[in-house]
Structure 1
Amino acid sequence: MLKRITKTAYTNVRKLCITTTTQQQIQEEIVKQEPMSVQVLKHPDYFNVHNLFTVKDLFDARVHFGHKEGSLDERMIPYIYGSRLGHIIFDLDQTAEYLRKALNIAAHVAYRDGIILFFQRGAQHVHLVEKTAIECGEFAHTRFWRGGIFTNSTKQFGSITRLPDLCIFFNTLNNVLIQHTAIRDSAKMLIATIGIVDSNCNPNLVTYPVPGNDDSTASIELYCKLFKNAILRGKQKRKEHLEQNIY
């Protein structure tokens, strides 16, 4: 009786495995028949952005350093590891996960020939961010944000204007207390946003928040390098697919 049950169980498991394998093969065939742009979108990491950095790279760039405990925004608590000597410390495992998602989105937007706009309000890093935007063929806004650029662009520019498809904020505050107005305007116009959110920031209006230091030169240099590489990877794939006529 025991042998019969064992044999029956083995047969059922074998049938289940065959069925599962068949379903996977059918799914793969369906994916292959779809346009390349759809296949790329369904892939979890088509541009291999996960290998652009490690957690140690984030640590070396001081991404884990937040502001003093007294300035902590309660909405940032889920991203915090703890504190040391009165300063907030970010959980870099979470930061790495959120940053990879943000890089993947940036690469996809670049692959679809979208417009990407970099933002930076700190005077110390303005040149670096503008230089990065030029190197990857995108745009940067590093000066005072005039209200209505997104929400009332037709009147501002005197004609119908194409808005960016993605905004990347290397810091999300105009100063210590006030959030960058363009974040609110982007949310109103349904423009996707990526934002480096420090411990004193509000991540709620940012589509893809990345918890981390937004002040140190080392961290900003790392962010610029990563987003530039992700965008260039997306553009390179687009170029290859257009040349092969499979886009």
Structure 2
Amino acid sequence: MLLKVLKYRFNLGSIRLLSTVALPEQTEPASDKEKNVLNHPDYFGVHRLFTVEDLFIAKVHLGHKEGTLHDNMKGYLYGSRLGHCILDLDKTAEYLRLALNITAHVAYRDGIILFINRSPQNGHMVDKTAIECGEYSHTRFWRSGIFTNSKVQFGAVTRLPDLCIFINTLNTVLDMHPAVKDSAKMSIPTVGIVDTNCNPNLITYPVPGNDDTPSAIELYCKLFKNAILLGKARRKENNHENEKS
């Protein structure tokens, strides 16, 4: 259930209002079957955004050492190689398409999307992705109460995000990012990249995959950005058609 509290967006530290950019062109016109977005299995065509080969080339399948494997991640494994866990990319592709689909739906409904990442080496890439699709990012230290006590934090009743996208669900090597728990407490849906050493239980739409290799992070950012832009472009197109009629 998407949570909306008030009619304006919040702004603190690295959570900031970001400019919108040019939207991608739609390759397929809306048909009669697509008029009801919720009745279509892939209304925005996110399945065309990537292939399993793209995931392999980006090293999405490479997990951490076997000794760091979280019990809840065993079902996502393909096997191991030289002491390192290998993720099943067929499962990753299935979960990633589901995550991209819900992301496009939230963007289509004009929801607020917040990218969250605590990895210093990838923070700039995540911030840039949020700017390019006109959404928000938080890549710094997470202050307690940003979600759970937002009225005090921001000095007014605040609209919280409709979806949080975690490019990395860990705050340190071992500790979960506190925003994961805060999102669950506030019933905010979450998408999260979960590596083999992560716990996917609190993530609404977990995506098993490498969460620290630059090539993998770049691919995730590109895919989520494109999904958001597809949703916004379709909303703009449908609104224009409604105005004409």
Matching residue's letter, 1:72: L
Matched residue, 2:70: 73
Deviations 1:12-33 (A, max 9, x none): xxxxxxxxxxxxxxxxxxxx69
Equivalent residue for 2:209, pick from 175, 197, 212: 212
Give how far 1:218 is off. 0.2
Relative to the length of structure 2, the TM-score reads: 0.85
SS class of match (2:180): helix
Which 5+ residue runs of structure 2 have no aligned equivalent? 1-31
Q: Does 1:177 align with 2:151?
A: no
Counterpart Cα distance in 1 of 2:242 and 2:138: 35
Counterpart Cα distance in 2 of 1:114 and 1:135: 16
Counterpart Cα distance in 2 of 1:127 and 1:177: 23
Give how far 1:153 is off. 0.4
Paired residue total: 213
Counterpart Cα distance in 1 of 2:223 and 2:64: 23
Give how far 1:42 is off. 1.9
Matched residue, 1:102: 99
Q: Does 1:166 align with 2:163?
A: yes
Deviations 1:58-107 (A, max 9, x none): 00000000000000001000000100000000000000000000000000
SS class of match (1:75): helix
Counterpart Cα distance in 1 of 2:241 and 2:41: 23
**Structure with the largest fraction of helix:** 1
Matched residue, 1:202: 199
Equivalent residue for 2:233, pick from 223, 228, 236: 236
Which protein is bigger by CA-based radius of gyration?
1
SS class of match (1:107): helix
Counterpart Cα distance in 2 of 1:149 and 1:211: 27
Matched residue, 1:7: none
Counterpart Cα distance in 2 of 1:195 and 1:154: 26
Matching residue's letter, 1:142: T
4+ runs deviating over 2 angstroms: none
Counterpart Cα distance in 1 of 2:196 and 2:51: 21
SS class of match (1:244): helix
Q: Does 1:139 align with 2:136?
A: yes
SS class of match (2:41): coil
Matching residue's letter, 1:99: L
Give how far 1:41 is off. 1.5
Give how far 1:209 is off. 0.1
Which 5+ residue runs of structure 1 have no aligned equivalent? 1-31
Give how far 1:211 is off. 0.2
Counterpart Cα distance in 2 of 1:142 and 1:207: 20
Matched residue, 1:19: none
RMSD: 1.5
Counterpart Cα distance in 1 of 2:116 and 2:150: 18
Give how far 1:177 is off. 0.6
Equivalent residue for 1:125, pick from 103, 122, 125: 122
The structure with higher relative contact order (CA 8 Å, sep 6+) is: 2
Give how far 1:157 is off. 0.6
